[in-house]
Each structure stands twice: as C-alpha cells, then as structure tokens.
Structure 1
Amino acid sequence: MVLTADTTVNARRRALALGARDFVGKPFDIVEIALRIANLLEMQILYERLSSVRT
C-alpha cells in the first residue's frame, strides 16, 4: 500500500507497476486506511488458502 501526497496519474501508475496493491493519497482518512489494510490482509489469507488447496 502506498500512502503519498503525490496523487498524479503517473505516481499511481508507477506505484502499481512496482507492485503496490493499493494507493491512497492525501488527505489520509485513518478509518479508510484501516479498512483497506483489512481488505488486503483478507485477500492475502484467501490467496494462501487457495494455494494450499491446489497443492
């Protein structure tokens, strides 16, 4: 997850191209960030479960 003041299209594209899973620009909302982190963690857990089922 990238937290930045630079919210230009180029900054978002670069962050995503480098592997960022999410991009949040200023001003930051702590509740939104917490929800996004929870979603990212849930996606990781589901990915790991799926990977273990496939092996």
Structure 2
Amino acid sequence: MDRKNNKTKEEIFMQMKKSIEFFNNIPAKHCPECGDHIIEQAESYLMECDRCLSKRED
C-alpha cells in the first residue's frame, strides 16, 4: 500500500490503465485542407499536414 495517499497497487494500476485507455481512444488528427491523416509529433500544434503546409509557403 502506498502510504502517501493510501492506495493499493491494484488501485494505482487501474488508474494507470484508465489513463492509457483514454489516450489510446483519442481519434487520429486529420488535415482540414485535404483530409489526410496527420502524423502527430510531441508538442506540435499544427493542424495541416506537411504537404498542405508546403503548398502554403510557396
């Protein structure tokens, strides 16, 4: 038992499992311009795919 917050290992495991399920169920991000799936990168807030972004820069 974790003395700090009095949770059992099973309760901690269940909380972790719920968190993992939440993140696994987030839908994939799609480009609003062309509809392609966007491969997300950590701390990236871009909404368009690389192809549409490169067209915009021209």
- Report the TM range for the smaller structure's normalisation: 0.3 to 0.5
More strand by share: 1
TM-score by length of 2: 0.41
If asked which structure has higher relative contact order (CA below 8 Å, sep 6+), I would say 1
| Structure of larger gyration radius | 2
TM-score by length of 1: 0.43
More helix by share: 1
